[in-house]
């Protein structure tokens, strides 16, 4: 039996990258998986089949994570299908990188809404079912950019910093209901998003890391598993960052 036997998990933005790695690992540990994707239907179908191949129940929902009504529909559908939601992983995110002087209002709004408002939406939507069952785990995928900043990413860094504040505050609001809220803040991870960074951004952030390595999505998934599992039941409001000086 795995650490998450009979647990029900909802993961946002899990058609590929870190989200997909999280979905597969949690399924390996016994969880049934519901996940959302925005537009990558072919990738979502591939992820769905990979989860099912592990023997887990799996459902994929096409959803706009930054729209509260859409979010509530997803959560209601998952509860109707699985009976409950034990684990929520807020992973949905995008980048629109450029210096602030060149950043458009649309660049700002899209990143804040997709990365930060989506976390608010899903946390708000799972509040009632988790409180009713008096048990739950919420894990937010932030970023080291939200801890130390990164030139060209004022929107992304602000959104991820906001996720950290959300994590710490919501942890206090839900502690008495036996719901733990934590976050991971990865550095560079081998995903399509990191491949979009320019050389100067990579150089700036790389200089902060004593270990000059790019993490694999599966390594970040292991951190999420720790927070999702019973071994972290006495930990809440914490942020596990990528290593830096």
> How large is the average pLDDT for residues 118-130?
97
Q: How far apart are CA 30 and CA 193, in angstroms?
A: 29
Is 156 part of the annotated catalytic residue set?
A: yes
Torsion of CA 216, 217, 218, 219, to 10 degrees: 60
Q: What is the pLDDT of residues 182-230, one digit of tens each?
A: 999 997 665 555 555 565 655 655 665 565 557 789 999 999 999 999 9
Q: Which of 37, 61, 120, 156 is catalytic?
A: 156
Per-residue pLDDT at 244: 46
Residue 216: the pLDDT is 85
pLDDT at 218: 92
Give Cα separations from 161 to 4, 146, 149, 153 (angstroms). Answer: 29, 4, 9, 12
Q: pLDDT (tens digit, 9 = 90+) per residue, 15-62?
A: 999 999 999 999 999 999 999 999 889 999 999 999 999 999 999 999
Residue 245 pLDDT: 41
Tell me the average pLDDT of the chain. Answer: 91
Retrieve residue 144's tokens: 């080291």
Closest to 20 (Cα-Cα) out of 39, 49, 4: 49
Structure tokens at 76: 């209601």
pLDDT in the model for residue 116: 98
Q: What is the pLDDT of residue 101?
A: 97
């Amino acid at each position: 039996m795995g650490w998450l036997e009979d647990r029900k998990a909802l993961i946002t933005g899990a058609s590929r990258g870190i989200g997909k790695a999280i979905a597969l690992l949690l399924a390996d540990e016994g969880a049934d998986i519901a996940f959302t994707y925005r537009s990558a239907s072919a990738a979502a179908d591939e992820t769905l089949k990979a989860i099912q191949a592990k023997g887990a129940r799996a459902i994929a929902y096409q959803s706009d994570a930054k729209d509260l009504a859409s979010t509530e529909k997803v959560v209601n559908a998952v509860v109707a299908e699985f009976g409950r939601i034990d684990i929520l992983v807020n992973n949905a995110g995008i980048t629109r990188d450029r210096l602030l002087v060149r950043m458009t209002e649309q660049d700002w709004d899209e990143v804040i809404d997709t990365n930060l408002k989506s976390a608010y939406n899903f946390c708000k939507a799972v509040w009632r079912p988790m409180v009713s069952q008096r048990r739950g785990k919420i894990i937010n995928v932030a970023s080291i950019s939200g801890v130390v900043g990164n030139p060209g990413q004022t929107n992304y860094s602000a959104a991820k910093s906001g996720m950290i504040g959300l994590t710490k505050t919501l942890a206090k609001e839900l502690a008495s209901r036996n719901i733990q809220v934590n976050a991971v803040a990865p550095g560079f991870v081998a995903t399509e998003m990191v491949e979009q960074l320019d050389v100067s951004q990579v150089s700036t952030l790389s200089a902060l890391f004593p270990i000059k390595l790019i993490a694999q999505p599966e390594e970040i998934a292991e951190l999420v598993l720790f927070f999702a599992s019973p071994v972290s039941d006495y930990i809440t409001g914490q942020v596990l960052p990528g290593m830096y000086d």
